[in-house]
Amino acid sequence: MKEYLLGIDIGTSSCKITVFDREGRDLASRTGKYEVFYPHPGWAEQRPEDWWNAVCASIKEIFDQTDIRPEEIRGVGIDGQSWSAIAVDKEGAVLFPTPIWMDTRAEDICDELNSRIGEKRIFEVSGNPLKPSYTTPKVLWYKREYPEEFSKIDKILQSNGYIAYRLTGQMSQDVCMGYGWHCFDMKTGKWDMAMAGELGIPESFLPDIVDCDTIVGHVTRQASEESGLAEGTPVVAGGLDAACGTLGAGVINNGDTQEQGGQAGGMSICTDTCHKDERLILSFHVVPGRWLLQGGTTGGGGVMRWFEHEFAGEERIREKDSGISSLMQLNEIADKVSPGSDGLVFLPYMSGERTPIWDTKAKGVFYGVDFSKTKGHFVRACMEGVAFSLRHNLEVAEKAGARSDVLRSVGGSANSKLWTQIKSDITGRQIVVPASDTATTLGAAMLAGKAVGMYGSYDEAVKLTVKDTRRHSPDKALKETYDKAYETYLSIYEDLKELMHRDL
């Protein structure tokens, strides 16, 4: 019988399901979309049930439309978006819509805890600053706003943990996703119950921590009926989407670096020591014995999705006749604009900003607009602005002692040769692009493959599955142009920060 692995990715705007063979070949992929809700300023939330419904529909579609059979799936791996706070009761029912990583509603709770407990003490334990995007303050927001429902909480799950629960009936917390909690000890990978008490987090809310390649359970009869997977199929804990994408890009050794081009942007530098820096994000890798020093930005590929949605009506009309996607048309007009966008500079702070400035009130800005600017200028400026944010994070990481010379780029943005070259030119780094569309689900599937014995080690898994498609080298002739534009980029935020913080 044929043997395959299935990877599930719970992204911000959609889930992706991919079936791989042992060599990492993408045999079938399906995507299921769902909404992000923005009911109030600073809020961004989703319904976990929507994730589950999209996952089930996508898996069934694969089995209905291909020759792949449910019994051929040896194992299932799951990755997901960061910093969820899925509150479930003893029956597993979700009690609230979950605030996602973009949500900043709990900023005042962070201020109070940082003042009462001390920023340094919290950081010393968790390796991460206490900011509203993380899981911790969101849970305490439930406590303050919905005390009656809060008393019904049995466990708090992460996005991948919720899908694993729906598949197996078992609640789990993988070590990689532990970084969303500030009662998680980043050195040991265990809960710090004393800190949980100081924060006001009930111990009972915290599932047992397991390695990312741990089989947490098997597909139940009910989950089999809903998803189409065979009853009894092993399911592993999985981990953070960026970490699984890092594994799927072949980043498993000290100094290896992944560049993220999904909805969010940023980078993940693999380290073999616990390397803390308050300006960045630190998590365990999904690979045992490794950590990831990360830069996480709000403006990644989502910037181009926003621009296309709001300003590419003409391109969408042409797409129907030409067959050329609206995004590809935007790439084409951006490619005709000179590097540096003739002085147009974009700050991609589209939902506040995370690393390295950690400013929930930061705003997106176009600077340098005049009558000479075309749509192409704005598209290219968007691409360059995201690349400047990447450079900013890389420079902070280097000052913290984590230098990377080669970036391995994944996510939808990596499909744009122009955007990838812009990132190479602006950061001064070589960029290698593996199979960018499948790196994240591949990483999740590799965890499952290691757990069920299809791979003897992660080195073997990477050698078998990760295939490089192209390489970009920085154009040294553009260094002066981009250095000047980058200085402007940094100055715009510093000069406008006070204005951004005024109440309108």
Residue spans per domain, the chain: 4-237, 301-403+474-500
The secondary structure element, H or E, covering residue 422 is: helix 417-427
What is the pLDDT, as a whole number, of residue 203? 97
Q: Which residues pair with 79 in a beta bridge?
A: 9, 239
Residue type at position 288: P
> What class is the 301-403+474-500 domain?
alpha beta
CB atoms within 10 A of CB 464: 16
Dist CA 48 CA 50 (whole Å): 5
What is the pLDDT, as a whole number, of residue 179? 97
Q: What is the DSSP string of 154-220?
A: -EEE-HHHHHHHHHHS---EESGGGGG-TTEETTTTEE-HHHHHHHT--GGGSPPEE-TT-EEEE--
Dist CA 105 CA 103 (whole Å): 6
Confidence of residue 436 (pLDDT cuts 50, 70, 90): low
pTM: 0.90
Looking at residues 438-446, what average pLDDT do you find?
95
CA-closest candidate to residue 186, choices 58, 50, 277, 84? 277
CB atoms within 10 A of CB 312: 20
Q: Model confidence over 10-42: pLDDT tens digits?
A: 999 999 999 999 999 999 999 999 999 999 999
Q: Model confidence over 113-125: pLDDT tens digits?
A: 999 999 999 999 9
389 with 299: CB under 8 angstroms?
yes
CB atoms within 10 A of CB 151: 10
Cα-based distances in Å from 124 to 84, 91, 185, 308: 22, 36, 9, 42
CA-closest candidate to residue 391, choices 404, 378, 401? 404
CA-closest candidate to residue 299, choices 101, 40, 166? 101
CB atoms within 10 A of CB 224: 17
Asked whether the domain spanning 301-403+474-500 has the same topology as the one spanning 4-237, the reply is yes
Say which CATH topology domain 4-237 has.
Nucleotidyltransferase; domain 5 (3.30.420)
